[in-house]
Amino acid sequence: MADDDVLKTAVRLGASVDALAALAAHLRLETEQLPADPAVRALLGTIAAELVGDDAPDPATAAPTIGLARTFLRQATELVENPGRSGNWDQVDVPLLQSVGRLSMGISAAVLAAERRLPDLGDRLRAADASFLDVGTGTGWLAIAIAQSHPTLRLVGLDIFEPALDLARANAEGAGLSDRIELRLQDAALLDEPNGYDAIWLALPFLPRAVVVPIVNAAVRSLKPGGWLLPGTFTGPGDRLSELLTDLRTVRSGGHPWRPEEIIDMLATAGLSDAQEIPREWPAPVRLYAGLRR
């Protein structure tokens, strides 16, 4: 490829980077009441209208969208600065950890979609004694979002990265949910709570392949009869380039780029029935799978 073609491609892609940043900046200004130069505010509003229309931003979708932008932009910068790194989360980058967590709030819409398709899941999660396990809770924002949409639900979040859990505790307290969200430093493969949960979420992009099957098996044992295991993966718009970029993001997050048939087979092998992918009808860049413990 000629040098001119490389530069032209970079310029074209740079416009998408700028557009993502401008959309997130507009959402922050409009939902967080931040001060701004009037000319900058007006231009950001015009750009946002070109991208998504001129309706007022919904605060419920603004936070995960801003989290997505921060996550993608910070990860993109880190990829350029350190292109050969393999996946790990041993660096305490507080803004990145928080932005990844904010992005995960959008997964709550996927759980709600699953409730509309899976027998009894919605009723179970709204029962007085319902419990939900968030494996790979990170900074706790998904647990917070699930708690907000399910007012009686008790949640437990597991992670093996103490700095993330410290942030999660502060986030849960700030959201007024410390009494309903329990956060633990624990290896999910060692989970031993028979019949403990109505649903368990597995954040597959952050779990090394070698630990996934032991974690799935431990999770199955910890589901109540009739409970659902809900693994999720990253996804993108669906074209070949997006698929490759999603695989790269997954590997650099510490996970394995699972294919749908691999996940469904893994759930069935673990003894779960009705293993399936939930048809995607939510904006968060996540694919959701499900398996039922009889």
Say if 251 falls within a structural domain.
yes
Range 14-33 average pLDDT? 93
Are residues 143 and 286 located together in one domain of the fold?
yes
Instruction: Looking at the structure, tell me whether residues 116 and 209 fall in a common domain.
Output: yes
pLDDT over 60 at 60, yes or no:
yes
The C-alpha atoms of residue 141 and residue 175 are separated, in whole angstroms, by 10
Q: Are residue 278 and residue 148 in the same domain, yes or no? A: yes
Domain count, the chain: 2
Nearest of 237, 184, 187, 180 to residue 214 by alpha carbon: 187
**Same domain, residue pair 161 and 226:** yes
Query: Is residue 1 scored above 60 in pLDDT?
Result: no
pLDDT tens for 258-270 read 999 999 999 999 9
Domain presence at residue 225: yes
Looking at the fold, whether 122 and 190 belong to one and the same domain comes out as: yes
Q: Are residues 53 and 123 in the same domain?
A: no
Q: What is the pLDDT of residues 94-121, one digit of tens each?
A: 888 888 888 899 999 999 999 999 989 9
Query: Which residues make beta-bridge pairs with 276?
Result: 290
Task: Give the SS3 label for residue 114.
Answer: helix
pLDDT at residue 119, rounded to an integer: 86
Instruction: List pLDDT tens digits, range 196-227.
Output: 999 999 999 999 999 999 999 999 999 999 99
Query: Could you report the per-residue pLDDT of 124-159, keeping only the tens digit for each?
Result: 999 999 999 999 999 999 999 999 999 999 999 999
DSSP SS3 for 135: strand
- What is the average pLDDT across 18-43? 94
Q: Model confidence at 58, in pLDDT bands (50, 70, 90)?
A: confident
Tell me the two tokens of residue 61. Answer: 């979708």
pTM value is 0.86
Tell me: do 128 and 39 sit in the same domain.
no
pLDDT on residue 64: 83
Sorted by sequence, the CB contacts under 8 Å of residue 79 that are 6+ apart come out as 248, 252
71 occurs within a structural domain: no
pLDDT at 90 over 80: no
The model's confidence at residue 68, banded by pLDDT at 50, 70 and 90, is confident
- Same domain, yes or no: 248 and 147: yes
State the average pLDDT for the chain: 93
Residues 42 and 106 in one domain: no
Task: For residues 291 and 294, give the distance between their C-alpha atoms in angstroms, rounded to a whole number.
Answer: 10
The residue among 211, 227, 218, 214 whose CA lies nearest residue 273 is 227
120 and 252 inside one domain: yes
The DSSP secondary-structure symbol of 57 reads P
225 and 120 within one domain: yes
Q: Which domain holds residue 48?
A: 1-57
Of 247, 157, 245, 172, nearest in space to 202 by CA: 157
pLDDT (0 to 100) of residue 84: 85
Decide: helix, strand or coil at residue 97: helix
In a domain, 82, yes or no: no
